[in-house]
Structure 1
């Protein structure tokens, strides 16, 4: 019995503790939120949970320092991991119009965020994955769902595999839904832009969905980890559904492409709603994000729509513009302004003006004379007026432009607007093209010039409309700068421009011959380039060249094609001299050179030219040496060049050779008797060997026995071997020269 009483006592204490926890759980007042997944680098992503918290009625004890999410595989619902997200931001959500702030509505924006890795070898399922987070509880006064105080929330996001087709598949979820802190007024149209952006450029589609309840409850308001899908939805109140989430006419809806949320509420209260944003790439859905949120509807002070009239240019008393029926015409002249008049029945209304281009660039819209002002304020008139003036150059080029002129008041919760769509055309002032002419035209065309001449032509550009005019130079088939031509002394100004075509003709102009320079006068009225007709200035470059003549005291060369050059032969140390002369009928500057494959001075050659206009001369001297012999065949090219645009050099090639001394027949003796009788006592070869010549010189002689033993050696060309100390018999000799030649033979030593 004591044991049973103890059990009941502990059970009652546990029930009491749970009852104490219930108010805190019911007081969390989570307004809504959404998940976000953004690619960072490599396999790293940043996952974030944004929660919107009721800052008026919420229990501060329910501001969690962290949030736990779960990542699951779609289809199988297999859990891959849980992850705690720390709280990183805690800010207030501002109203669209701060002046409309009410004390009963204030929202905090809580962001929980961290980085996580999605390895390619793990997150590669074709069906993709989803992230979920569960939390309780909602505001107890929500009027469109059943059992609101006990309803939980599940925040949900789908994302694709990070590798597809064997390649990395990078994707960031849509960053949607600007935070909403506004309220709606009973019977008034409420609108808000929930449209978002996608970092990958994917297509976004929006629709209304039923918010998810999930598994969180007052008994377990913050599960240790979210459960896998499926997640039970909230239960709508009688008469409401996914397509009719709150009382309204029209009911709450969202544009599938723009994300614009609209409703005209017909009942006061607090209403929860759900929006889904799906992303598509190449027509295939790859992910989705859901936002769970709520909207407060209150009774607002009456606010009437401001009114606006637009009048076109012209004298006073012009009738008002009729949208859809009239087209205003802005003609050239001083009056290109629209008159705008704004009224508002509400006292002390502050109006603002906005202009939106419909079918032309917004950058072309002028700024009105006023953009905002007070109606019926102290000392203020009942009507605001503004002018919208288009610049003189504004030109629609025959098209009908449309411009929305929007006036908005500062009413709550959202401003009322009146929009007038103005259709209009605009013409730019008429303009004449500029003209260009030569101040003093040459008497002859084309202009004739030679290399070295200076061609100058004075030019004048005029514009009857006094637009700033300039002169421009081009060439037909060439660029003037490539031949050294340019415009000098250029002056540009309103209605008048002057310049001088200046060209010092040089060799760059010879190949083309005829040069046609094109001159235009250019003006830029209303940022539209206009040019005159093309003025052509032809210049023909006259050029001719006669080849110079080269003569010399060298023996005449054969004129036959392919004939060998003249050869000059000298013995070593011999001297040869010659003279060369050059003339040129064009009196061009002449130069004379001599060149060979080696340094001339090293080969014993000297060349001394003297040059000048139309005439050149040179002396040549050669003293034959061994360097010349080593370089054979030694061809020297003598060149006479005329310094002109298209030179015609003249050349003479002469070959120089060094005579070699005659080589005697090699008939060496093959026997000698070293008996001292004065007859055939020595072995010698001096008179039988080739003579020494430059690098071809006697290097030495060696005599060997039949067993290879050296018995005699000498470096002297005039050696004499007496055979002393050797036995009679056959011996072998070898004579070497410095150029590698060798002479071998045998000699017999006879007995004494």
Structure 2
């Protein structure tokens, strides 16, 4: 897991870093043999970035003790030079830089690439300055033997990078600075043209422009080669030797230059030595500059290079012809049926020279010619010929569409320090052979449109052919729908010269919707020369869907308006109802019965209430029988019971039919409850006891619970659980209160006056 620094201000104390920097210094500060380098800032995810310094070190002459284990980068706000943070970057990679041509290796030139890196967080609430920010790393000192600057042993370096704010015009602005600059590991030779691709790449597709700049010296010095942190800009420049400048950094004819768009370095040096130079890569988005990267590097110019003769190249347009192609005067015209190959003759005056051919499109992209024979080999060595021959053929699919295309045919040798090349620029026009489109037919055509109903199985064939015998592929799409979402398939295979497909669709409920017309589109496609050609056929399929509601008849009482019919029966009775369902569409029918309370919120199990329902479901018809054995099982539920009977047709859009009935257990007939209020316990046989003979009788679980009698002061004087209780009073007159409860929660209250 990477470790991030959240950069919200100066991240470390300069005093601490100053002390740490001196701990890693070993030996004298001068002669660190730093070759050059550049910085990168790469976006990860969200606010996460990686800050990186690529430092190049002279491995042939430098001491390993001069390698730093970490370096400190300082971030500043451009508009104010305010220090935002110091970032300690550890060394994370150390590798050698390879020569372009390994055979040209010189022991005096060996370069290491050191990578210092740290993951950081650029918070949008902090890094939002419109003019952006810059990062710098300062380090002293350069190589002692540099030829084109004053006092190289005390000259320092400032590695510099500019980047934009992470918020621009109120919106997130994500940018990765240019990177992947190829490091220079080769040397140049006096009076020989030196070239090198020095361009970087940009992950965001921004425009990159290159120019030569004077390298930065910075503020570090030999007594403090590794400052605790970089100082703010501006940074002093190195001092050129007399006669040299930004525009003339390496003496030459021509002097060192870089192509503004391609980043290609070129120089024909006239002096031997080790030369430092500076290149700037400026980044643009939408025509607006958003950042820049500066790169310092060194180029060694040698005078002891072996003489390398430039190879030569000739093209013979006709397979047996002897007249060479004349660049700038001749144009190859490639027509269908004509010759599309040329012979390439390439040679070199040097012995043991190994040559190789390559191609480069100048004003077009896409398909290139190809060599049908060997493109490399040795010349003038024992047993090797003086001249090599290759065959270059233009594929039939190349079509210039009336324009003249330019192609560079290049031969290069393996000479040092860099290969020498000879180029023949070939102008050509090419016409593609005529090609007929494919053809498509279907066995469904005579019956169009196809009419179907839910449940039908549809199938027909589609047949694709091509007059030119190009490979045919069958395709199926739907106008406004995906056939696979409906379950439609197209299987295909090749039979002779035909590509045959079988369309299959079992029409189901997925085809029922507001639009019942489905236009299936079939295509026979070919790709001659990677250009699509197709023939198409549309097959409309109309899906019909009609559904009549089933009917449900029963022996239940007829309902009045929106009321649910009530059936009230005493204990011990049996009730039976029969049901019959009919569907004219012959859809499958299902009869069900479910129990609920009168408000529909609480259900009940039919069997727990002594009820059962037996259904006989089928296609087009269904029947059922409901039976209720009236018992205390239903009465003990203590609520009105609703049974819902539903008949559902098995179709895409069912139209269920419902009937309901309310069932209730009839309680035994009882007189109106009479609550007595006076007794006269005088033993005259008249009203001597307090009794309540007219209380409701016991019914299933609804039974008499208890009677309690209280004085007017709340003191309980009597209690009984016998519904036939007889209370004679307390012997003295007065007013009493009684309280009767039943097990089903019913309660009766009253008062009683005792008159002696």
TM-score, scaled relative to structure 2? 0.76
Distance 1:325 1:692, change over 3 A: farther
**Distance change >3 Å, CA 540–CA 199, structure 1 → 2:** closer
Is contact 1:36-1:175 (8 Å) kept?
no
CA distance in 2, matches of 1:73, 1:425: 55
2:743 corresponds to: 738
Report the equivalent of 1:219: none
Structure 2 vs 1, CA of residues 526 and 72 (structure 1 numbering), >3 Å: closer, same or farther?
closer
Aligned to 1:719: 725
Aligned to 2:212: 207
Q: CA deviation at 1:496?
A: 0.7
| Mapping for residues 73-88 of structure 1, pairs under 5 Å | none
Query: Are positions 1:526 and 2:529 aligned together?
Result: yes
Quick check: 1:425 aligned with 2:426?
no
Which residue matches 1:291? 296
Where does residue 502 of structure 2 map in the other structure? 500
Per the alignment, do residues 634 and 334 of structure 1 end up closer, same or farther by CA in structure 2, a change over 3 Å counting?
farther
| Contact kept? 1:592, 1:611, Cα under 8 Å | yes
Q: Deviations over 1:456-515 (max 9, x none)?
A: 434433222222334334444444444444345x32256212333334444544555554
Verify: 1:465 aligned to 2:468, yes or no. yes
Match of 1:748 among 733, 737, 753: 753
Which secondary structure does the structure 1 equivalent of 2:691 belong to? coil
> Offset of 1:406 from its aligned partner?
0.9
Q: In 2, Cα distance between the equivalents of 1:215 and 1:604?
A: 100
Any conservation in 1 of the 2:89–2:117 contact (CA below 8 Å)? no
1:410 matched to 2:414? The reply is: yes
Q: Does residue 1:551 correspond to 2:557, yes or no? A: no
- Say whether the 8 Å CA contact 1:36–1:173 is kept in structure 2: no
Q: CA RMSD in A?
A: 4.8
> Residues 270-349 of structure 1 correspond to what in structure 2 (within 5 A)?
270=273, 272-277=275-280, 289=294, 291=296, 293=298, 295-298=300-303, 303-312=308-317, 316-317=320-321, 319-333=323-337, 335-349=339-353
Partners of 2:482 and 2:64 in 1: CA distance:
75
Distance in 1, matches of 2:462 and 2:165, equals 69
Q: Distance in 2 between matches of 1:84 and 1:549?
A: 83
- Paired residues of 1:310 and 1:340 also in contact (CA < 8 A): yes
Distance 2:519 2:720 in 1: 86
3-state SS in 1 of match to 2:370: coil
Shift of 1:38: 5.7
Corresponding position: 1:491 with 2:496: no
Distance 1:82 1:642 in 2: 74
Indicate yes or no: 2:664 matched with 1:672: no
Q: Match for residue 159 of structure 2? A: 157
Q: CA separation in 2, counterparts of 1:381 and 1:415?
A: 20
Structure 2 residues not aligned, in runs of 5+: 1-26, 597-603
Aligned to 1:709: 715
Secondary structure of the residue that 1:526 maps to in structure 2?
helix
Corresponding position of 1:575: 574
Q: Which residue number corresponds to residue 650 of structure 1?
A: 657
Q: State the match for 2:608 in structure 1.
A: 602
Corresponding residue for residue 12 of structure 1: none
Secondary structure of 2:607's match?
coil
Provide the C-alpha distance between the structure 1 equivalents of 2:220 and 2:40, rounded to a whole number of angstroms. Answer: 27
Distance 1:81 1:594 in 2: 78
Cα 1:394/1:726, change in 2 over 3 Å: farther
Work out whether 1:634 is the aligned partner of 2:641: yes
Judging changes above 3 Å, is the alpha-carbon distance between structure 1 residues 493 and 392 closer, same or farther for their aligned structure 2 residues? farther
CA distance in 2: counterparts of 1:165 and 1:438, whole angstroms: 59
Q: Which residue in the other structure is 1:20 paired with?
A: none
Name the counterpart of 2:12.
Answer: none
How far, CA to CA, are the matches of 1:685 and 1:382 in structure 2? Answer: 139
SS in 2 for 1:717: coil
Select the residue among 184, 194, 197 that pairs with 1:179: 184
1:194/1:259 contact within 8 Å kept? yes
- 1:17 equivalent in structure 2: none
- Cα pair 1:34 1:156 within 8 Å, conserved: no
The C-alpha deviation readout for 1:32-54, integer Å capped at 9, x for no partner, is: 6225556699899666753437x
> 1:254 touches 1:261 (CA, 8 Å); kept in 2?
yes
CA displacement 1:660-684 (0-9 Å, x = unmatched): 4455344444333334343332221
Counterpart Cα distance in 1 of 2:626 and 2:589: 18
How far apart are the structure 1 equivalents of 2:441 and 2:259?
64
Q: Report the Cα offset of residue 743 of structure 1.
A: 2.9
Which residue of structure 2 lines up, in the alignment, with residue 6 of structure 1?
none
Unaligned runs of 5+ in 1: 1-23, 217-221
Q: Which whole-Å CA distance do the structure 2 matches of 1:343 and 1:204 have between them?
A: 37
Q: 2:551, 2:581 within 8 Å by CA — same for their partners in 1?
A: yes
SS where residue 396 of structure 2 aligns?
Answer: coil
- Count of paired positions: 695
Quote the Cα distance in structure 2 between the aligned partners of 1:545 and 1:594.
23
State how far apart, in whole Å, the 2-side matches of 1:713 and 1:368 are.
119
Distance change (3 Å), C-alpha of 1:547 and 1:198: closer
State the SS of the aligned residue for 2:407.
strand
The alignment partner of 2:529 has SS state of helix
Cα deviation, 1:321-366, whole Å, max 9, x if unaligned, reads: 3434444333334742232222444455432211112344467453
Write out per-residue CA displacement over residues 626-675 of structure 1, whole angstroms, 9 at most, x where no aligned residue. 55454644332333344445544433322323334455344444333334
Contact 1:33 1:52 in 2 (8 A): yes
SS in 2 for 1:532: strand
2:195 equivalent among 191, 196, 217 = 191
Q: Give the CA deviation at 1:701.
A: 1.4
- Mark the CA change 1:678 to 1:462 in structure 2 (over 3 Å): closer, same or farther: same
Deviation for aligned residue 1:185: 2.8
- The Cα shift of 1:525 comes to 3.1
Question: Aligned in 2, Cα 1:373/1:43: closer, same or farther, shift over 3 Å?
Answer: closer
Question: Quick check: 157-166 or 713-722, which moved more?
Answer: 157-166
Distance in 2 (alpha carbons) for counterparts of 1:265 and 1:685: 132
**Alpha-carbon shift at residue 289 of structure 1 (Å):** 4.2
CA contact (8 A) 2:690 2:727 kept: yes
Question: Does the CA-based 8 Å contact 1:486-1:501 persist in structure 2?
Answer: yes
CA distance in structure 2 between the aligned counterparts of 1:118 and 1:548, rounded to whole angstroms: 71
Larger mean CA deviation between 515-524 and 350-359 belongs to 515-524
Q: Do the aligned partners of residues 416 and 661 (structure 1) sit closer, same or farther apart at CA in structure 2, a change above 3 Å counting?
A: same
Q: Give how far 1:718 is off.
A: 1.4
Tell me how far apart the structure 1 counterparts of residues 246 and 276 of structure 2 sit (CA, whole Å).
9
Contact 1:36/1:48 (<8 A) preserved: yes
Q: Distance in 2 between matches of 1:704 and 1:210?
A: 111
**Contact map agreement 1:431 1:465 (CA 8 A) in 2:** yes
Distance apart, 1:285 and its partner CA: 7.8
Structure 1: distance between partners of 2:50 and 2:512: 67
Equivalent residue of 2:472, what SS? strand
Alignment of 1:44-123 (within 5 A): 49-52=55-58, 55=60, 64-66=65-67, 95-100=99-104, 106-109=108-111
Tell whether 2:701 aligns with 1:698: no
Q: How does 1:684-695 map to 2 (within 5 A)?
A: 684-686=691-693, 688-695=694-701
The offset of 1:86, in angstroms, is 9.4
In the aligned structure 1, how far is the partner of 2:88 from the partner of 2:616?
96
Contact (CA 8 Å) 1:583, 1:616: kept in 2 or not?
Answer: yes
Residue 176 (structure 1) shift: 5.0
Look up the match of 1:616. 622
Distance 1:568 1:284, change over 3 A: same
